[in-house]
Amino acid sequence: MQISDLIFKELLKRGYKLEGKTRIWDVADSKLWYLTPKQAQGFLDLSKTKGYKKAIIEKEVSLIKGHMKDFVRALPKTSCNIIDLGCGDGQKASLFIKELEKHMKIRYCPIDISSYMVSKAAKTIRKMKVGEVLEFKWNISDFENLNNVTPLFRDSGFEIHFMMLLGNTLGNFDREDMLHGVKTSMSKDDILLIGNGLTNGHQDWTQEYKNPVINKWLIQIPQQLGLSKDDIEYDVRFLNSRVEELYILKKDKKIKHLGKTLNFKKGDVVITAISYKYTKPGFNKILEKFFSKVKIYSDSQETYALALCKK
């Protein structure tokens, strides 16, 4: 597989840190997960697996359906833009569109770092033949640019946004400034719905993530660093309230690219993805740092939650 300049530069920039004598290379950045259509489709394939559905989708869908009336009541009665942050293939948004179109005029605005995902989501919603789908160049955006993007969707009759950050997307970020970016992109009448996994102290998250389909998807990142399947081994650990999906070097490996040389050593760890799992009080606490009103809805086992937020 061809070496990615972006991933290679990111690893060089970050370098490594030591845990004891083990070198930890961290390239866990969600913008690197969907650089190619193959990577994007790999995630969509993962989202259809039994394990992923059980851990995330089924819990989220159950909470959405169980509290849909609350979400509808929080929205305006006339119209809104459905801003689908990290839209994936649009299946999450379809649940709301089916219900909201009974109560108001709606427009669907998918936003994702991947043009492949935006196209998939737009196609999913267009098939429903409900409302309008806004798709143009600004839909391809990361969360750091939302303050410039979301105003472009506002116009006469559609001033209010219903923003969705579902599918544990928040947990994939290691920086609170991501929430700051979402907040600053909102107006005072906008609504934000966040879906994220919780940790209750009992669930073994590592087993949920030791999934060959996850490996098939994420291994494309070290492969785009010049590592082969024979060089690395997939593993998962739960550390500091987050799942870390990582690869362990089975041998020394020297990689030359862009006039630079990377020297991996046997036993080195390359972290490719993270997924934070907050306690319910911790989830509420971090959201209250950014939003004036927060209401948490969780499953009975407190393994997943939805948070309804206002600026």
- Are 128 and 101 in a shared domain? yes
- Are 166 and 299 in a shared domain? yes
**Domain total of the chain:** 2
- Are 163 and 102 in a shared domain? yes
Question: Is 270 strand, coil or helix?
Answer: strand
Condensed to tens digits (0 to 9), the pLDDT of residues 24-44 reads 999 999 889 999 999 999 999
* pLDDT value at residue 202: 65
How far CA 305 is from CA of 59, 62, 105, 274, in Å, comes to 8, 10, 28, 18
- Are 149 and 287 in a shared domain? yes
- Are 152 and 81 in a shared domain? yes
Contacts by 217-220 with C-beta closer than 8 Å and gap 24+? 217/33, 217/39, 217/42, 217/43, 217/45, 217/46, 218/33, 218/245, 218/247, 218/272, 218/273, 219/247, 220/1, 220/36, 220/38, 220/39, 220/42
- Are 271 and 282 in a shared domain? no
- Are 28 and 111 in a shared domain? no
DSSP classification of residue 155: B
- Please state, in angstroms and rounded to a whole number, the distance separating the CA atoms of residues 160 and 263: 51
- Please state, in angstroms and rounded to a whole number, the distance separating the CA atoms of residues 181 and 2: 33
* Full-model pTM: 0.89
Cα dihedral sign for 306, 170, 241, 293?
negative
- Are 172 and 302 in a shared domain? yes
- The CATH number given to whatever domain includes residue 115 is 3.40.50.150
Q: Name which of 106, 39, 113, 37 is nearest 78 in CA terms.
A: 106
- Are 174 and 288 in a shared domain? yes
Which range of residues forms the domain containing residue 219?
A: 5-48+203-276
Condensed to tens digits (0 to 9), the pLDDT of residues 174-206 reads 767 789 889 999 999 999 999 998 887 766 778
Strand partners, 256: 261
- Are 117 and 178 in a shared domain? yes
Question: Is 106 strand, coil or helix?
Answer: strand
- Are 71 and 189 in a shared domain? yes
- Are 149 and 297 in a shared domain? yes
Q: Which parts of the chain sit beneath pLDDT 50?
A: none
